[in-house]
Amino acid sequence: MASQLPSIPTTSQLTTIVHLPSPFAELPRYPILYNHPSPIHPLPSLSRRTTQSPAQPRINIFAKREDHGSPLACAGNKYRKLEYIVPDILSSTPTYHYHEHHPTTQKLNGPATILVTEGAIQSNHTVQVASLARTLGLKALVLLSRGTGGGLRASQDRNAFVRSGNVQINRLLGAQVRILNEGDPIANDANPILEELRASGERPYWIPGGASLHALGGLGYARAAFEIEVQERELGLGGSGGFDYIFVACGSGSTVGGLIAGFKLGETARQVIGVLNSPTRPRPYHEDRVLNFARRAAAQVGFDGKERPTAEQAIGMDDVRLEDRFVGTGYGVLDAETREMMEVMAQSESVILDPVYTAKVARAMMHWVEEDEIREFARQRGLDEVNVLFIHTGGQAALGAYADVI
């Protein structure tokens, strides 16, 4: 089915072949990313900060630039997830088009005509869905909730916050933008809007926030694990065991869950640290979600209890490691320490972080480095150096909305 779909043109002629085992390799995937992996490059200034004396194990820090992963608008981690969802969107009989609170809704009689999704006011996910819709020749409706997170409440100019940044880009992309007030029931159940669209002759395809609750949401980052393994060898890290630690944002959860499933399938141990960005829910809630997403992805890519163990046997709570000390006072709220991390990264590495996700990830990573959590790992194993990967998931377009605090 995937081979019959139109492809998104890219300017790159480089191709890195990522070999996936069966049945993962047979799952339909639509190319949204460049035909070469998002780059991994060293962060030399941050790495130099990690070694105070020659007697200490060296910590080498690298960045994987998911914000450079696609030719479409505001590249970031959601495009990788959407690659496995598009074949269903364009199918003559979509299977996963419904709202998660109403899974028995009527089937679509043909490919989707409009993508509908949700998010906080400065949602990166909605922009990537809107951009994808335009590329596929579809309409887009994005639902942005004033009640999600604290970024809007913390803003000194709330009117500007709901007009600028990702909101502005959604509109520029031609998406219909609907701002939901706090307490609006549509923020919890979009079925009335979906029914309204069906009644008007549209075939709406619902993509939940972050695409994590979508049945195929974890597959993109399961594939990313194999891509990272290829890049480790290209960087000459294969002999040292590759990246010992991988730090990545944990919002809705399937990015972390997919990575766990992919590395488990590749049979290469990795310490994947998901950095939480919101204090709204306690860590055990997120741990359960990530475990479920990882197991769901694992079951789809080959852990079936036949040639491999079941997903439940292969992945347990010990595989889920989440960091919750840097969530701050609210989702989307930029505190002074996280703002300082943005300045450090910009002024030492010329890498621009976003205020919601990646700045908190970088702050958590540097805490682990500077407070000896990673160095102790090296000492226990007799290692002279440790390789750390920071996954940059994008989101810089939101910066315009934070002009009053940055």
**Catalytic annotation, residues:** 123
What is the side-by-side strand order in the sheet with 139-145? Answer: 176-180, 139-145, 114-120, 204-207
Cβ within 8 Å of residue 395, ≥6 positions away: 67, 74, 76, 124, 354, 355, 356, 357, 358
- Name which of 110, 87, 56 is nearest 215 in CA terms: 87
Separation between Cα atoms, residue 276 and residue 322, nearest integer Å: 7
